[in-house]
Chains A and B, each alone.
Chain A
Amino acid sequence: PNVKLVTSDNEEFVVDFRIAKMSVTVSRLMEAMNMSETDDASLLSNSIPLPNVTKAVMARVIEWCEKHKNDEPKEEKENDKRGRTTHVVSDWDKEFLKNDEFGRLCQLMGAANYLEIKGLFNDISQTIANMIHGKKSDEIAEMFNIHCDLTEAEKKEIRKKTAWCED
């Protein structure tokens, strides 16, 4: 069975029921609209509006879901030995995300967050974290277009505190 998803720019995507169910948001909406896998009429007569997702982003989300539709649920390791959240981004996912500019990653991450697709969200969040690892503060600021609003006194204080591991 297929489910119709309608994006903010009125583009209709017809996706497999299993793919639609990968989104917690879509699952809840389908439940609210009494749409079930065994009831073809309910699937045909309804479409799920997704006002926070555009056509371009939706196409990417569906591409990711197609690849991962048969995956076993993956538990995120909450704490590694350093006490940090970790998520292993698979080679396919790295390849999938590697050509995305940061702005595009943000849009995709926003959509994954709204649609509640945990795997995709974790992949992007970890990818952005990996972009930060090993960078100097000015490189991070430039990469993410962040304007430094710290005062000279605050900068001096921070430098003093982190002088022992100066980047």
Chain B
Amino acid sequence: PPPLLLFSSISLALPSLPINHFSRWGLLTIAFTHNLFHKMRIFNLEYFSFAVDTSEFIRRLAMAFNLLELPREIIIDIVQRIDYKGLLTLSKVCWLTKELADVELSKLTKKHRARIFYWSCLNELCFETISRQRLNIVRMGVHDSMERKLRAADAVYGLLLVKNGNWRPPEEPVSQAVQLLSRRCNHLELEAAWLSENGLQEAIRKLSLFDKKVYLYTRVKKAVANRREKVGSLNVSVVDNFHLEIFHDGMRRRNIS
């Protein structure tokens, strides 16, 4: 609507307002300054009906403009309706939306039936496919480059690193496992790695520092069979065939595929 019309509408409305904290002209100035006319359809006089006093009026206007002013449970309800891609976008908006989106993303990856992405060589197209089809597990060669593994670990909940015909054990398996689990990935099965006793201790120490629940499956060179121990909230279990699992309660789920 033309500014003159707006102005006259406001002028007509103001005499009916019990103004306690601002003068009418002050209120008008505030309204003009913030360009609220367009955004709030202030020309609709209905808005003035809730202006018990001007401070309340201003508070409501401010509230009306910011999603984050809504009670947290309401924001959560909205976020729960956002799809996967929308959640990723929300995580870039601000810290609070990131926090809420991260919670939903983590719930989603847990709820979802495993959808594995089999690819020996992850390229741009593969990552697009992962996104489009909402795949949450990637199975790739343990020999693949660390850069690709890290990228996959950023994209999915679970990573299955398997050996192929020409496999060689990964160098520094503990370092790899810790790096991969420090990304978005929570579940790692490292088929071709053999941890030494020192490596095992290092893995336990580093993973217990993580601020999230993780599952690691790999093998150990030498360890006491049927060894079970608890380090903080981490469970460490070595079965007689030297298979090792490090996990939190509720995270133990080998072969998520």
Q: Which residues of B contact A146 (CB under 8 A)?
A: 66-68, 93-94, 97
A interface, by DSSP: helix, strand, loop or mixed? helix
The proximity string for A residues 134-150 relative to B, scoring 1 for CB distances below 8 Å and 0 otherwise, is 11110011001111111
Q: Closest residue to A143 on the B side, CB-wise?
A: B67
Most chain-A CB neighbours within 10 Å: which of B61, B73, B78?
B78
Scoring B residues 106 to 134 as 1 if CB is less than 8 Å from chain A, else 0, what string do you get? Answer: 01100110000000000010011011001
Q: Given that A9-B52, A82-B84, A85-B80 are known contacts, is A137 also in contact with B89, CB under 8 Å in the complex?
A: yes
Bound state CA distance, A104 and B50, in angstroms?
12
Minimum CB–CB distance for B71 against chain A, Å: 7
Is B238 an interface residue when CB atoms closer than 8 A count as contact?
no
Residues 39-61 (chain A) with a chain B CB within 8 angstroms = 54-57
Q: Contacts of A134 on B, CB cut-off 8 Å?
A: 86
**Pair B154/A160 contact, Cβ less than 8 Å:** yes
Interface residues of B in 32-49 (CB under 8 A from A): 39-41, 46-47, 49
Asked whether any CB of chain B lies closer than 8 Å to the CB of A167, the reply is yes
Is B163 close to A, CB under 8 A? no
| Cβ A8 vs Cβ B95 within 8 A | no
Q: Which residues of A contact B184 (CB under 8 A)?
A: 161
Interface-centre pick from B88, B93, B98, B128 (highest chain A CB count, 10 A): B93
Query: Which of A55, A113, A145, A160 has the most C-beta atoms of chain B within 10 angstroms of its own C-beta?
Result: A145
Number of A-B residue pairs with CB-CB distance less than 8 Å in the complex they form? 153
User: Contacts of A135 on B, CB cut-off 8 Å?
Assistant: 86, 89
Pick the contact of A103: B65, B85, B89, B90 (CB < 8 A). Answer: B65
Is B154 in contact with A149, judged by CB distance below 8 angstroms? no
Task: Give the size range of A's interface with the partner.
Answer: 35 or more
Can you list 25 A-B pairs, Cβ within 8 angstroms, ordered by A?
A: A56-B50, A79-B111, A82-B134, A83-B111, A103-B39, A103-B64, A104-B64, A106-B64, A110-B74, A121-B77, A125-B74, A133-B82, A137-B89, A140-B93, A141-B94, A144-B66, A146-B97, A150-B95, A158-B91, A162-B88, A162-B91, A164-B151, A165-B88, A165-B128, A167-B88
Chain A residues with CB under 8 Å of chain B are 8-9, 54-57, 79, 82-87, 101-104, 106-107, 109-110, 113, 121, 125-126, 128-129, 132-137, 140-141, 144-150, 154-155, 158-165, 167
